[in-house]
């Protein structure tokens, strides 16, 4: 069963979650719904990455690895500018 993370504090909970209930992916409609602040986005991405959680955007597929992280950062910068 899926679990929803509703706010930034929930991202911290993902890191401390019981390994038996590990969260594999964080699914968002678009990166602009994930965060409107690049600093907050990068902080949350680092926390989720450390917890082994993959970020998946339905409307903004970014790929994985360094290229995906770079693309998400550019999208975050654009989202911050137009927030």
For 26-54, the pLDDT digits (tens) are 899 998 988 889 999 999 999 998 888 88
pLDDT category at 8 given cuts 50, 70, 90 is low
The pTM of this model reads: 0.69
Closest CA to 75 of 17, 34, 18, 23: 34
Residue matched to tokens 């993959």: 54
């Amino acid at each position: 069963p899926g679990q929803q993370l509703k706010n930034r504090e929930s991202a911290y909970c993902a890191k401390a979650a019981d390994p038996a209930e590990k969260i594999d992916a964080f699914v968002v409609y678009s990166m602009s719904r994930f965060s409107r602040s690049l600093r907050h986005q990068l902080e949350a991405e680092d926390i989720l990455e450390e917890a082994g959680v993959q970020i998946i955007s339905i409307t903004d597929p970014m790929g994985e690895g360094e290229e995906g992280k770079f693309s998400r950062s550019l999208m975050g910068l654009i989202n911050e500018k137009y927030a």
